[in-house]
């Protein structure tokens, strides 16, 4: 897709067919971050031995990567507003590829952690700039539809990446994981270099660009922007709470095997994909605000069912945890594309900055909630604390969206 084709798509967003070529590229760009995060997990024990490190230290290559992936979005979003989507993506993902190669040559755990930070900062561009590109090309309702399709990779990739990493590590050694990451990142960079158009400015009227700090100030002062950002953050926080505490409930309290937990997890993940699909089909017809409210309502139903089952039916086994979570995931998948589309639509000329702030807050809150849920459930004899935490998050979600978006 060249720049002229991109402008035609922007000028006639409702009459064009779904641009699957562009969407597949954006899916690939989005997947680099979560793939690089999860693919290395099976190699952690061997990496600890190889670098003469303890388990706690080697675990930093996961936690530090996640922090850098969150913080990198705050950097890449504004850079894409200033210099353009295309150059920022190409340079950032080249950094990821080079950092992956350097990881093969490391000799200390400190240098590996540094390589992981560079991987994450580069990969963060794929997450945040992809969202800005979608907003550049489509109005906010159609953008939510496209974001719903792209978001499906966020379900598939975390499931497949550890499996891929395990096969590579078993067959070829831990170095093959970083070689694979470098190779795939390079392929996506080449793909983008030949087909990705520059879209910055398509949604901006002449003279509307006011400068980064003024655009940032307008975003920060906007109640609607805050409402959409918090909707995305607290909507997905219910998932992160389950991520932090669900394993303790199922494996420790219910004595299910890790394999059984994995099967149930995969089943519940279908709920998020279902929500994304519904969002992609219904956003242009009903608008993002209605779909966000529908997603909130579905999440509330899910957490209410979770609380009831946790109190009265713990002996039923994992179904009392994963059935409500399936419902919660549908709501999450339904509301999240709309929340992101709403946030990046407040000031289209600052869509990259808005996407960066949205992604950072969502990831930072998610990490904090996951950690808190794990601590909260550590000594609990039941799933009730997890259900109550999720209920609290759903309540904050509904109240913040009502106060900040509906009233404004």
- 187 pLDDT more than 80: yes
The C-alpha atoms of residue 336 and residue 121 are separated, in whole angstroms, by 23
**What average pLDDT does the segment 55-66 reach?**
80
Using N-to-C axis directions, what is the helix angle for 175-195 and 20-38, rounded to 10°? 160
More confident residue, 171 or 317: 171
> Does 324 lie in the same domain as 249?
yes
Confidence of residue 14 (pLDDT cuts 50, 70, 90): very low
The pLDDT, as a whole number, for residue 13 is: 54
* Domain identity same for 157 and 251: no
Residues 243 and 171 in one domain: no
Residue 90 placed within a domain: yes
Q: Are residues 179 and 298 in the same domain?
A: no
Q: Identify the sign of the CA torsion 66, 70, 73, 75.
A: negative
Residue with tokens 């002996």: 315
Is 200 contained in some domain? no
**pLDDT, mean of residues 298-310:** 92
Mean pLDDT value across the chain: 85
Cα atoms in the Cβ-side hemisphere of radius 13 Å centred on 235: 34
Is residue 164 located within the same domain as residue 239? no
Report d(CA 79, CA 75) in Å as an integer. Answer: 6
Q: How far apart are CA 273 and CA 348, in angstroms?
A: 27
> pLDDT at residue 202 above 80?
no
Judgement on whether residues 80 and 110 belong to the same structural domain of the protein: yes
**DSSP string spanning 230-287?**
HHHHHHHHHHHHHHHHHHIIIIIIS---HHHHHHHHHHHHHHHHHHHHHHHHHHHHH-
CATH number of the domain to which 149 belongs: 1.20.1250.20
The verdict on residue 364 lying in a domain is: yes
The answer to whether residue 205 sits within a structural domain is no
The count of domains in the chain is 2
Give residue 314's pLDDT: 65
Residue 368 has pLDDT above 90, yes or no: no
The domain boundary, picked from 127, 161, 195, lies at 195
| pLDDT tens-digit series, residues 272-298 | 889 988 988 888 888 899 999 999 999
CA 341 to the chain's CA centroid: 14
Interval 212-220 mean pLDDT: 76
**Residues contacting 82, CB < 8 A, separation 6+:** 212
Lowest mean pLDDT segment, chosen from 45-59, 115-129, 199-213: 199-213
pLDDT of residue 212: 63
Q: Which of 195, 229, 252 is the last residue of a domain?
A: 195
Q: What pLDDT does 241 receive?
A: 87
Q: Which domain does 37 fall in, by range?
A: 3-195
Q: Convert the pLDDT of each residue in 119-148 to its tens digit.
A: 999 999 999 999 899 988 888 888 888 888
Domain end call among 195, 221, 239: 195
Query: Residue 220: what pLDDT?
Result: 81
User: Which residue, among 388, 373, 377, 381, has the nearest Cα to 253 in the 3D structure?
Assistant: 381
Among 39-53, 83-97, 110-124, 352-366, the minimum mean pLDDT is found in: 39-53
Q: Examine the domain organization and report whether 239 and 317 are in the same domain.
A: yes
Identify whether residues 67 and 191 lie together within a single domain. yes
- In this prediction, residue 361 carries a pLDDT of 92
Which pLDDT value is given to residue 210? 54
319 & 363 share domain: yes
- Confidence label for 209 from pLDDT (cuts 50, 70 and 90): low
pLDDT higher than 70, residue 5: no
- 292: Cα separation from own chain's centroid: 17
**96 vs 266, more confident:** 96
Check: CB of residue 231 under 8 Å from CB of residue 397. Answer: yes
The stretch 334-342 carries a mean pLDDT of: 91
Report which of 374, 350, 124, 366 is spatially closest to residue 246, judged by C-alpha positions: 374
Q: Is 207 within a domain?
A: no
> Does 40 fall in a domain?
yes
Say if residue 167 is in the same domain as residue 124: yes
pLDDT tens digits, 228-275: 999 999 998 998 888 778 777 877 778 877 777 778 877 888 898 899
Residue 1's nearest CA partner among 224, 154, 193 is 193
pLDDT bin (cut points 50, 70, 90) of residue 50 is confident
**107 within some domain:** yes
Same domain, 222 and 182: no
The region of weakest confidence among 107-121, 155-169, 198-212 is 198-212
User: Would you say residue 370 has pLDDT above 50?
Assistant: yes
Asked if residue 361 belongs to a domain, the reply is: yes
Residue % of the chain over a pLDDT of 70 = 90
Q: What is the mean pLDDT of residues 36-63?
A: 80
Closest CA to 278 of 326, 342, 330: 330
92 lies in the same domain as 235: no
């Amino acid at each position: 897709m060249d720049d002229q084709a991109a402008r035609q798509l922007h000028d006639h967003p409702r009459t064009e067919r779904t641009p699957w070529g562009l969407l597949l590229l954006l899916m690939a760009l989005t997947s680099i971050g979560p793939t690089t995060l999860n693919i290395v997990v099976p190699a952690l024990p061997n990496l600890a031995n190889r670098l003469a490190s303890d388990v706690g230290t080697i675990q930093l290559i996961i936690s530090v990567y996640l922090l850098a992936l969150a913080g990198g979005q705050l950097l890449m979003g504004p850079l894409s507003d200033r210099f353009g989507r295309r150059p920022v993506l190409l340079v950032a993902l080249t950094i990821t590829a080079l950092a992956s190669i350097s990881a093969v040559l490391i000799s200390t755990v400190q240098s590996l952690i540094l390589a992981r930070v560079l991987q994450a900062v580069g990969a963060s561009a794929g997450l945040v700039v992809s969202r800005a590109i979608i907003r550049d090309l489509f109005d906010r309702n159609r953008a939510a539809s496209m974001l719903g399709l792209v978001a499906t990779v966020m379900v598939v990739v975390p499931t497949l990446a550890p499996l891929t990493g395990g096969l590579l590590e078993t067959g070829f050694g831990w170095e093959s994981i970083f070689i694979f990451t470098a190779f795939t990142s390079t392929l996506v960079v080449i793909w983008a270099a030949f087909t990705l158009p520059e879209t910055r400015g398509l949604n901006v009227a002449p003279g509307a660009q006011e400068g980064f700090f003024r655009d940032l100030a307008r975003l920060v002062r906007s109640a609607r922007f805050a409402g959409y950002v918090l909707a995305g953050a607290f909507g997905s926080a219910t998932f992160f709470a389950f991520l932090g505490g669900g394993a303790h409930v199922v494996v420790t309290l219910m004595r299910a095997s890790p394999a059984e937990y994995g099967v149930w997890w995969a089943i519940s993940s279908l709920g998020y994909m279902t929500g994304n699909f519904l969002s992609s089909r219904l956003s242009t017809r009903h608008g993002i605000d209605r779909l966000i409210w529908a997603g909130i309502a579905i999440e509330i139903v899910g957490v209410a069912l979770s609380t009831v089952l946790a109190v009265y039916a713990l002996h039923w086994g994992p179904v009392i945890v994963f059935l409500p979570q399936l419902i919660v995931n549908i709501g999450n998948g339904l509301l999240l594309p709309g929340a992101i589309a709403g946030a990046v639509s407040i000031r289209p000329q600052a869509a990259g900055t808005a996407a960066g702030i949205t992604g950072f807050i969502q990831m930072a809150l998610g990490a904090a909630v996951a950690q808190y849920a794990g601590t909260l459930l550590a000594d609990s004899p039941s799933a009730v604390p997890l259900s109550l935490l999720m209920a609290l998050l759903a309540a904050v979600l509904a109240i913040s969206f009502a106060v900040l978006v509906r009233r404004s």
